[in-house]
Amino acid sequence: MQKKWWHGKTAYQIYPKSFYDANGDGIGDLRGVIEKLDYLQELGVEIVWLSPIYCSPLADQGYDISDYYNIDPRFGTMAEMDELIAKAKERGIGIVMDLVVNHCSDEHEWFRKACQDPDGPYGKFFYIVDRDGEHLPCNWRSAFGGSVWEPLPGHPDKLYLHTFHKKQPDLNWENPAMREEIYKMINWWLDKGLAGFRIDAIINIKKVLPFRDFPADRADGLCSISTMNYHAKGIGEFLGEMAERCFNPHNAFTAGEVFYVSDDRLPDFIGDHGYFSSMFDFNETLCNASEKGWYDQKPITPEQYKACCFESQAKVADFGFMSNIIENHDEPRGVSRYIPAGECTVRGKKMLGGLNFLLRGLPFIYQGQELGMENMAVSSIDEVDDISARDEYQVALNAGCTQQEALAAVNMFSRDNARTPYQWDDGPNAGFTTGTPWLHVNPNCKEINLAAQRNDPDSVYQFYRKLIKLRKNADLEDALIYGITVPYRVEQKNLMAYFRQGEQHKVLVLGNFQPQAQTVPLPGAVKKILLNNCGTAAITGDTAELEGYQLLVLEMA
């Protein structure tokens, strides 16, 4: 595998709206990110992905872009964006933005022009069809519920397609003229000095055409859009063209948000000459997912988590780099999801973080993960902002759940869980804003916040700094960066253990994924204890006695 400039780095995702509000209007902003650059440098991250800050009506919190060439005034100005790129670069940090090109906003001028003249050039930027009575072109379900088809504003005789919210009309990638506009925009941003892009929902740009139904998977007669994704063929034409026209000439880092790609196609996506540099490992987030909805999804167990991680590692082996996460802005907090209920402790948070972080691939820390931020339960659907959660609540009720059962599903999976304001300190609004925060602050900010952890050598924050520093240890690069993951004692229950096997070094990662202690036979002599989330390490000869939720990282002789 060819070595790339970003392989040894650690990445960090910022959800700007909830990161830091510098002007007191309750909304996180670019000035806030600029003011926290020293913090990010202290943490040790070197790639920072910003969720969208382009002009947007925020129907989907910025993933509905109305002007790709401007910063939404609620987040700041283009001058501040240029300042951020420059000041980040001074600190060795590359800025990656979110590329949302499966769809734009219905307030984008392209869509406005399409509504003015559906048969004109901009009508062809979208999927617009003539109505056929009550019959719909296909029975696909929007990711946010309901049919993907909506009447075209001003044209009751026409429909347009939206994979997501109706305010997010899908762009027609079959149209070369539309693609040219996208490539021009990407290159404009890369020429400004971006280090690259995270690429949003990109698997959706290739549709099954002509439109056709797939078997319904719910009583609504519709089918999940993921079914369409599975059947769509030929996306490589678009992704390869985009890489050749934009990413490759700039040597840009790109991380695809890619779902439902068969194993045999992975090299096309993230191999040495793949469409993207990397793609996120969603195997753990998709575990136990149900087409019926969140209400039907059972919690993931430690054994399932282990199996999902090892399955992904084996798929990619040594031909590419997955981007490894325990959470992001679409998912619940990892420590609340992957650590069994009632067992979520500081020690467990460090163990989970270390087990994921040291897998082969690029570690992506999501804002607040380094503090061990947790889910925040709500007591009424009226407190929920997330449009996806509000849809899933109704899906649960429609399926016969009680309001309590439906709310329990929302509390487990709502995207709001990861969007509560970053917890900087134990002061008002967790130090996020001097105004009224746009979304509720988790009351546990009194205990879980950066100020309380920054100078505590045993904090989750300091443990993440150690993880990042360890991964930067040049002596161990052959193992910790390029070494393949070799599972160890997979059959031992609630033990998640694996080698990172390099040409010169072998590192063994041991995680005791339960409260009870357990004994682990060691495969040989230990040269050095590289990391331990407990005060002591009971290693005698060829045996390690692991305490509950203990993580040991060992350099083997």
Task: Say whether residue 203 binds ligand TEU (CB under 6 A).
Answer: yes
Give the residue at shortest CB distance from Ca ion.
Answer: 29
Rounded distance between C-alpha atoms, residue 224 and residue 82, angstroms: 40
Using CB under 6 A, pick the residue from 100, 148, 194, 406 that binds ligand TEU: 100
CB of 57 to Ca ion, least distance (A): 17
Closer residue to ligand TEU, CB minimum distance, 164 or 432? 164
Residue 371: which of 317, 411, 431, 284 has the closest Cα?
431
Which residues are paired to 48 by β-bridges?
A: 12, 95
Q: Tokens 């070799």 — which residue? A: 486
- 29 makes contact, choosing from ligand TEU, Ca ion, none, with CB < 5 to 8 Å by partner type, with Ca ion
Asked if 413 is part of the footprint of ligand TEU (rule: CB under 6 A), the reply reads no
Smallest distance, ligand TEU to C-beta of residue 203, A: 6
Interface stretch with ligand TEU, choices 196-204, 416-424, 449-457, 478-486 (CB under 6 A)? 196-204
* Per-position DSSP letters for 468-525, written without gaps between them: HHHHT-GGGHHHHTSPEEEE-STTSTTEEEEEEE-SS-EEEEEEE-SSS-EEEE-SS-
* Site map 270..309 versus ligand TEU, x via CB under 6 A: ----------------------------------------
Residue 21 binding partner per list ligand TEU, Ca ion, none, with a CB distance cut-off of 5 to 8 Å that depends on partner kind: Ca ion
Q: What is the DSSP letter of 77?
A: -
Whether 440 and 354 have beta carbons less than 8 Å apart is answered as no
Residue 164: which of Ca ion, ligand TEU, none does it interact with, CB under 5 to 8 A by kind? Answer: ligand TEU
The footprint of Ca ion (CB under 5 A) covers: 21, 23, 25, 27, 29
CA distances from 510 to 77, 283, 337, 530, 535 (A): 47, 21, 20, 12, 15
Residue corresponding to tokens 């060819």? 2
Cβ-closest residue to ligand TEU? 63
Q: Single out the catalytic residue among 80, 98, 106, 200.
A: 200
Strand order in 538-540's β-sheet?
518-521, 543-546, 538-540
- DSSP structure class, residue 300: P
Judged by CB, which is closer to Ca ion: 433, or 501? 433
Shortest distance, position 163 Cβ to ligand TEU, whole Å: 6
CA-wise closest residue to 335 among 456, 487, 448, 489: 448
Q: Tell which one of 46, 200, 327, 477 touches ligand TEU (CB under 6 A).
A: 200
257: annotated active-site residue: yes
Q: How far is the CB of 102 from ligand TEU (least distance, A)?
A: 7
Can residue 255 be called a binding residue for ligand TEU (CB under 6 A)?
no
> Nearer to ligand TEU by C-beta: 415 or 505?
415
Q: Is 213 a catalytic residue?
A: no
Q: Min. distance of Cβ 25 from Ca ion in angstroms?
A: 4
Nearest to 222 by CA among 297, 287, 163, 295: 163
Q: How far apart are CA 255 and CA 49, in angstroms?
A: 10
Range in contact with ligand TEU (rule: CB under 6 A) among 4-12, 33-41, 200-208, 311-319:
200-208
- The string of DSSP codes covering 432-454 is S-SS--SSPPPGGGGTS-HHHHT
Q: How far is CA 306 from CA 284, 431, 497, 509, in A?
A: 9, 36, 9, 13
> The dihedral of CA 448, 452, 45, 84: what is its sign?
positive
Query: Which among 108-116, 195-203, 516-524, 545-553 is the span making contact with ligand TEU, rule CB under 6 A?
Result: 195-203
Q: Using the structure block, give the residue that is written with the tokens 């039907």.
A: 296
Site string for ligand TEU, 134-173 (x = CB under 6 A): ---------x-------------------xx---------
The one of ligand TEU, Ca ion, none whose footprint includes residue 11, by CB under 5 to 8 A per kind, is none
Selected from 54, 75, 149, 259, the binder of ligand TEU by CB under 6 A is 259
Torsion angle defined by CA atoms of residues 141, 147, 148 and 154, in that order, rounded to the nearest 10 degrees: -170
Instruction: Please report whether residue 25 would count as binding ligand TEU according to CB under 6 A.
Output: no
C-alpha separations of 117 from 128, 137, 160, 533 in Å: 11, 21, 13, 63
- Residue from 225, 325, 344, 552 that binds ligand TEU (CB under 6 A)? 225
Q: How far is the CB of 29 from ligand TEU (least distance, A)?
A: 19
List, by residue number, the catalytic residues. 200, 257
Contacts with ligand TEU, residue ranges (CB under 6 A) = 60, 63, 100, 143, 163-164, 200-201, 203-204, 225-226, 257, 259, 329-330
